[in-house]
Structure 1
Amino acid sequence: MAAVSLWLVVLGSIGALYVVANCFRVLRYLSLCLRQPKDLRRRYGSWAVITGPTSGLGRSMAVELARAGLNLVLVGRDRAKLQDVSEKIARCHGVQTKAVVFDLSLVSTPEGDEAMRRLRDAVEGLDVGVLVNNAGVAKPGALYLHEAEVGSLMRIVRVNLQALTEVTAAVLPGMVERGRGAVVNIGSGSAVAMPSFPLYSVYAATKRYVAAFSKSLYVEYKSNGIDVQCQAPFLVETNMVSSAVKSSFYAQFVVTPDACARAAVRWIGHGRLCVPSLAHQVQWWFAGLVPGVIHDAYRLAKNLQQREMFRVLRSARAPKSHPQADEDDKVVVYNKQ
């Protein structure tokens, strides 16, 4: 009887410590919301590089960084969309912009090597203080591994893992030379808060790489004045997330890109791992309360529902190919008049 009582005391103590730790996390988040955000331009430098800036969270983060006074190097695959975003940001926020056409799914190919050279040329001599590795691929999703095309799976790996690594390696040397900078890698709540994410195994695995990569770089470069951070949002209303997926979540937990970007920019430089949105923080807290085996069963059931919805959608429409970038005029500079 005494042994049982002892175990109850131990388990109760562990539970209490867990609740206290999560309360401190919430308090830390609230304290950040109340404090003044960092002056990113003064702290890190006058330019920011951001990948995937033409839609969704990337576009919203580009606008927020411009609002903070940073000039932008925008890296994406669609030249027309890059030009449109560049001109609008330059006109509305009075900053300089450069657009570098780079299909990140071609990384480690001759075309990708040439695009990487153009990116290095574009940032040469610039005071690049912030790098945001935002570009990411989640599709195909809600599939067993044997059901997906290997080429599509490897595209996830190239964009989410290889391209992120190569772009970081291209920008970091300048930060080291100047002794300051911030690298923000966009991860995923599916990788840092959940024990598994079945039917999205390759996507979740690449995002776990992003988290581990960021943690190690944080330790490596902190003494050089460089802050490396993995930001792990949960569900954001972007093109990566289908209406079928969004409909399976409570609306208050699906954050708009603008709201997520505002929180994300405030978090830059505050820790090596963060979940910027308060709504996503709540999800993270609740996810930690659920035993892994229960979570695995629930997540598999939900993602199997998505698999069936996607099967119906795929049968109703033909796959669309993504536009290819033009070979000319790969780097364009825009300045507000």
Structure 2
Amino acid sequence: MEFQAVILISVATLGFISLCSSIINLVKWVYIMFLRPPKNLKRSYGSWAVITGSTDGIGKAIAMELASEGLNLVLVGRDSLKLESTSSEIRYRIGDRVSIRTIVIDFAKVGGEEIEKRIGEEIEGLDVGVLINNAGLAYPFARFFHEVDLNLMESVVGVNIVGATWVTKAVLAGMLKKKKGAIVNIGSGSSGAAVSSYPLYTIYAATKA
């Protein structure tokens, strides 16, 4: 009887500890998601942010948000007209509170070392504290792996992996030197986070994992 009581108390104790742990994790999540005051990115990391794929969608929205927080921007894209349009739109909304630079480069058409060289030259002397690797290239339409031609395959890999890798290499040195910085790599739900299998976009899903 005493042995059964010990087992019962032990199981109840473990259950109570597990419940407390779950409650603590829930409270932490609620605090982080809804109650924690926003971090001052400029003070915490640096006064400049580099954003690839910055002229449309997620990248453009992030650029707007970072500018509203007072960060100066280095906008990276392959279309000079879109870069100029995005820069003008940010200046119209934010005013002259931030500085904006643009870099025209197509990750699908240049090698990794050239990417690092170009980005490194453009950000030299800037206090870059935030890097958003957002640039991405997908198929123009769905197709199976064996149907993807070599040029498209190389372009997808070049933009989604090579570009992100070498831009990071160009920016990381400065962050390591000052011992602070934030790097965000934008992925995709197709990589398995939201969709368990994405057979018609295999290469894209793999490069955005």
Change (3 A) 1:58 1:25: farther
Counterpart residue number, 2:67: 66
**TM-score normalised by length of structure 2:** 0.81
Shift of 1:26: 9.6
CA contact (8 A) 2:117 2:170 kept: no
Q: What's the counterpart of residue 137 of structure 2? A: 137
Q: Residues 181-226 of structure 1: CA distance to partner in whole angstroms, max 9, x if unpaired?
A: 0000001122242432211110111122xxxxxxxxxxxxxxxxxx
Aligned equivalent of 2:197: 196
Residue 330 (structure 1) aligns with: none
Distance 1:36 1:162 in 2: 35
* 8 A contact 1:156–1:202 mirrored in 2: yes
Q: Aligned pair 1:97/2:100, yes or no?
A: yes
Cα distance in structure 2, aligned partners of 1:31 and 1:127: 27
Q: State which drifts further: 147-156 or 181-190.
A: 147-156
Distance of 1:153 and 1:180 partners within structure 2: 35
Is 1:108 the equivalent of 2:111?
Answer: yes
Give the C-alpha shift of residue 175 in structure 1: 0.4
Q: How far has the Cα of 1:166 moved from its partner?
A: 0.4
| CA apart distance, 1:37 | 1.3
Whether the 8 Å CA contact 2:145–2:199 is kept in 1: the answer is no
Structure 2's unaligned 5+ residue stretches are 1-17
Partner secondary structure for residue 176 of structure 2: helix
Q: CA deviation at 1:99?
A: 0.4
Quick check: 1:89–1:95 contact (8 Å CA) kept in 2? no
Percentage of matched positions with identical amino acids: 48
Could you tell me which runs of 5 or more consecutive residues in structure 1 were left unpaired when the two chains were aligned: 1-16, 209-337
Letter in 1 for 2:81: A
In 1: Cα distance, 2:145 partner to 2:121 partner: 39
Opposite residue 79 of structure 1, the aligned amino acid is S
The number of residues matched between the two structures is 186
RMSD: 2.3
Please identify, of 89-98 and 48-57, the stretch whose mean Cα deviation from structure 2 is larger. Answer: 89-98
Change (3 A) 1:95 1:55: same
Query: What is the alpha-carbon distance in structure 2 between the residues aligned to residue 24 and residue 105 of structure 1?
Result: 43
Q: Deviations over 1:49-101 (max 9, x none)?
A: 00011111111100000011100000000011111211222343220000000
CA–CA separation in structure 2 for the residues paired with 1:184 and 1:152: 25
Q: Deviations over 1:293-337 (max 9, x none)?
A: xxxxxxxxxxxxxxxxxxxxxxxxxxxxxxxxxxxxxxxxxxxxx
The farther-off stretch of 75-84 and 115-124 is 115-124
Counterpart in 2 of 1:174? 174
Please say which structure displays the higher CA radius of gyration.
2
The structure-2 alpha-carbon separation of the partners of 1:90 and 1:159, relative to structure 1 and needing over 3 Å to count, comes to same
Task: Describe how 1:14-163 pairs up with structure 2 within 5 A.
Answer: 24=25, 28=29, 31-93=32-94, 94-108=97-111, 113=114, 116-163=116-163
Cα distance in 2 between the residues matched to 1:127 and 1:153:
35
Q: C-alpha distance in 2, partners of 1:138/1:26?
A: 39
Matched residue SS, 2:138: coil
The one-letter code sitting in structure 1 at the alignment partner of 2:197 is: S
